[in-house]
Amino acid sequence: MTEDISSQLFDTVIGRLKTGGGRMTKKRKVLLNALLTFDRPASAEEIRERADLNQSDLVTVYRNLETFENIGMLQRVPLENGTQLFELTAPNEHYHHLICRECHKAERLDLCVSKAVIGQAEAHGYTQIAHIMEVYGLCGKCEGISRQAYA
């Protein structure tokens, strides 16, 4: 992430925490700084490690990540195996990813199915519509490895 976007996101999180009645605790601050260093969705374990919070339990990490999610600054990226990755996003933004099911590399896709999805959901009488879409496969690197293994 560029420094500009990073400091912008940082300020937005602080502002939203304030209006949401939350506080920027020391732990939230190191977690937020760790999140800002990733240019891809990361697991709670990876975020904890980069935040140098290995002495904290994962439940605490999850709880603080949930706080960022509640103020609309964090997107959860579900994996096929039921675990999740996390990505810091600007308010009202979301991304779809192409995720390798072996190495869990997640790349942003330059598309959104919003129009089609909202049209269909509204036709069913739904409001406040949200959607999640992630695409899973095997990246070129992992495909090469599995081919070698079975050769």
Closest CB to Zn ion among residues 14, 142 = 142
| Cα–Cα dist 111/132, whole Å | 12
Residue of 1, 14, 100, 118 interacting with Zn ion (CB under 5 A): 100
Binding to Zn ion by CB under 5 A, coded x per residue (else -) over 43-82, reads ----------------------------------------
Please name which of 145, 42, 16 lies closest in space to residue 97, comparing C-alpha atoms.
42
Structure tokens belonging to residue 29? 């601050």
Closest CB to Zn ion among residues 58, 98 = 98
| Cα–Cα dist 142/3, whole Å | 32
Residue of 46, 102, 107, 134 interacting with Zn ion (CB under 5 A): 102
Please report how close the Cβ of residue 92 comes to Zn ion at its closest, in angstroms.
11
| Cα–Cα dist 10/73, whole Å | 10
Partners of 77 in the β-ladder: 85
User: Residue 112, interface with Zn ion (CB under 5 A)?
Assistant: yes
Listing from the earlier edge strand, what are the strands of the sheet with 106-109? 106-109, 96-100, 134-137
Closest CB to Zn ion among residues 74, 139 = 139
Please name which of 134, 140, 107 lies closest in space to residue 39, comparing C-alpha atoms.
107
Residue of 103, 116, 129, 132 interacting with Zn ion (CB under 5 A): 103
Residues in touch with Zn ion (CB under 5 A): 100, 102-103, 112, 114, 139, 142
